[in-house]
């Protein structure tokens, strides 16, 4: 599997989805025994944060704005990727990406004059893995 840094440099979002899905799929079931950690979005977001931070990337969790709190902002390779995480029962419902759009979390980044990607990630409580990964690029102002 391609390294995370290579995937980010290439804007390979399908590869990014495969990377994180494989990461979650590799977690042993004993890590979930006798606890309900998989029910909480913070656990899932924390794994993404830890991976990005371990690479020394410019990552900000829970970035606040007048619209609320964005789960995770990643500035890398002249771009901004905004992540929203949701936990669902079994199948994705698109709420993560929709929240990014509804709250217009991209507004505070538009002045940075760099591409912005909205990334909605959904995790299954039941399967304890990534089940939804939607990406949308924010159009540049005036387009």
**Which pTM was predicted?**
0.86
**Where along the chain do its domains lie?**
4-138
Classify strands 79-88 and 68-76 as parallel, antiparallel or unpaired. antiparallel
Tokens of 106: 């991209």
| pLDDT tens, residue by residue, 40-56 | 677 788 888 999 999 99
What's the topology of domain 4-138?
Trna Endonuclease; Chain: A, domain 1 (3.40.1350)
Q: What is the pLDDT of residue 3?
A: 86
CB 102 within 8 A of CB 139: no
């Amino acid at each position: 599997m391609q390294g995370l840094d290579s995937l980010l440099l290439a804007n390979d979002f399908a590869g990014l989805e495969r990377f994180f899905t494989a990461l979650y799929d590799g977690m042993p079931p004993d890590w979930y025994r006798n606890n309900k950690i998989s029910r909480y979005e913070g656990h899932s977001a924390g794994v993404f944060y830890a991976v990005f931070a371990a690479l020394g990337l410019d990552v900000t969790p829970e970035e606040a704005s007048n619209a609320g709190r964005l789960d995770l902002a990643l500035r890398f390779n002249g771009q901004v990727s905004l992540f929203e995480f949701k936990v669902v029962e079994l199948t994705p419902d698109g709420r993560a990406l929709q929240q990014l759009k509804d709250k217009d979390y991209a507004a505070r980044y538009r002045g940075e004059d760099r591409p912005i990607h909205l990334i909605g990630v959904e995790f299954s409580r039941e399967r304890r893995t990534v089940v939804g990964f939607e990406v949308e690029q924010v159009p540049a102002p005036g387009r």
